[in-house]
């Protein structure tokens, strides 16, 4: 059984001690000069979800691109030579942190861009620790589940970090960034409230997930994750683990196995054939499926897919 436990990260401790209060990188970053004030700020996001959040805050003041597409896995991504060029050309890079983008630090170092402001959006987020990886400090996710954006409450804090970064680079447009931030958080609140109403009759329904990415989503929306096929993308579960999952699905009468378009569907399909459970495709990354182009539309899509599968 997968259990999730909140742990206080070093970032939260430092935050409460007043040693730092945002996701801004430490070195001083000069604001844009007046000659470039009318040019959009070049922002590079590691993931499409971050690209969307930057776009919502920056709007026409930013030109934002994502290193990954919606169908690539953040765990297995192989950087390209053009990624270094993109970082060299950017004024701001936005990442999740928590060891998710293990490949990005080397890119930043090799790009050697002194004007680059790095925003780590996980700072201050209460991090959930999956039992699957607990007690394994050598594991890249040993510091906790990094898929923080799958809880809209966390996304609000991520948006605030992004806003702080844009204001640091472009203080002239501070009021516009704060206004855009407030409007987006209001829209996100409305989306979340609407989804909670849909999910109220389905509280505490049990599901199996393909990989351990859905802790925040399950906690926020009231699902119970009984287990995952793989605790880490790119690793094969043992035959015993699969056998135990099959028995659990049958015993607990679990009806849904959550998979993702970024992952190989073979193992979820095997479990479904053995148990009669249904494989439901959700995406943790915007743009991977039609109708999931933005963060809000992705969350709505994922909730709707689960609701439809569980109410049948």
Question: What is the pTM assigned to this prediction?
Answer: 0.85
Q: Per-residue pLDDT averaged across 110-133, rounded?
A: 87
Burial class for 154, CB neighbours closer than 10 Å (0-12, 13-18, 19+)? buried
In whole numbers, what is the pLDDT of the chain averaged over residues? 86
Q: Which of 59-73, 157-171, 236-250 has the highest mean pLDDT?
A: 157-171
pLDDT tops 90 at residue 16: no
pLDDT tops 70 at residue 30: no
Q: Per-residue pLDDT averaged across 77-98, rounded?
A: 95
Contact 184, 158 (CB under 8 A): no
pLDDT tops 90 at residue 26: no
Contact 259, 268 (CB under 8 A): yes
Residue percentage of the chain with pLDDT more than 70? 82
Question: What pLDDT does 190 receive?
Answer: 97
What is the spatial distance between Cα 30 and Cα 36, in angstroms, rounded to a whole number?
12
Question: What pLDDT does 72 receive?
Answer: 82
Question: What pLDDT does 38 receive?
Answer: 78
Burial class for 118, CB neighbours closer than 10 Å (0-12, 13-18, 19+)? buried
Read off the tokens for 43. 């922002």
What is the spatial distance between Cα 155 and Cα 132, in angstroms, rounded to a whole number?
24
Question: What pLDDT does 82 receive?
Answer: 94
Domains along the chain? 4-194 (3.40.50.1980), 198-311 (3.40.50.1980)
Q: Per-residue pLDDT averaged across 184-196, rounded?
A: 97
Provide the CA 216 distance to its chain's centre, in angstroms: 10
Give the number of other Cβ atoms within 10 Å of residue 167's Cβ: 19
13 vs 312, residue with greater confidence:
312
What is the spatial distance between Cα 34 and Cα 16, in angstroms, rounded to a whole number?
36
pLDDT tops 90 at residue 284: yes
Question: What pLDDT does 111 receive?
Answer: 95
pLDDT tops 50 at residue 18: no
What is the spatial distance between Cα 65 and Cα 84, in angstroms, rounded to a whole number?
13
């Amino acid at each position: 059984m997968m259990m999730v436990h909140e742990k206080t990260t070093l970032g939260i401790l430092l935050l409460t001690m007043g040693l730092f209060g945002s996701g801004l990188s430490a070195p001083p970053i000069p604001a844009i000069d007046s000659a470039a004030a009318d040019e959009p700020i070049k922002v590079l996001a590691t993931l499409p979800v971050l690209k969307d959040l930057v776009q919502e805050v920056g709007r026409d003041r930013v030109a934002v691109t994502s290193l990954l597409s919606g169908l690539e896995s953040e765990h297995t991504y192989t950087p390209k030579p053009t990624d270094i060029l993109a970082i060299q050309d950017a004024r701001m890079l936005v990442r999740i942190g928590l060891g998710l983008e293990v490949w990005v630090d080397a890119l930043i170092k090799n790009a050697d861009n002194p004007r680059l402001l790095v925003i780590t959006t996980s700072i201050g987020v209460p991090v959930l620790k999956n039992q699957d990886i607990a007690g394994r400090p050598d594991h890249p996710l040993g510091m906790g589940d990094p898929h923080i954006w799958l809880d809209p409450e966390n996304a609000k804090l991520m948006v605030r970090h992004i806003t702080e970064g844009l204001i640091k680079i472009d203080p002239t447009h501070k009021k516009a960034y704060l206004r855009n931030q407030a409007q987006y958080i209001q829209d996100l609140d409305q989306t979340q409230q609407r989804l909670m109403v849909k999910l109220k009759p389905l509280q505490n329904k049990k599901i199996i997930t393909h990989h351990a990415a859905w802790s925040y989503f399950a906690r926020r929306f009231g699902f119970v994750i009984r287990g995952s096929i793989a605790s880490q993308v790119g690793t094969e579960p043992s035959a015993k683990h699969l056998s135990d999952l099959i028995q659990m699905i049958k015993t607990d009468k679990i009806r849904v196995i959550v998979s993702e378009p970024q992952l190989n569907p073979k193992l979820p399909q095997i479990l479904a054939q053995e148990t009669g459970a249904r494989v439901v495709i959700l995406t943790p990354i915007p743009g991977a499926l039609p109708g999931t182009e933005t963060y809000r539309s992705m969350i709505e899509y994922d909730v709707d897919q689960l609701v439809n599968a569980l109410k049948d």
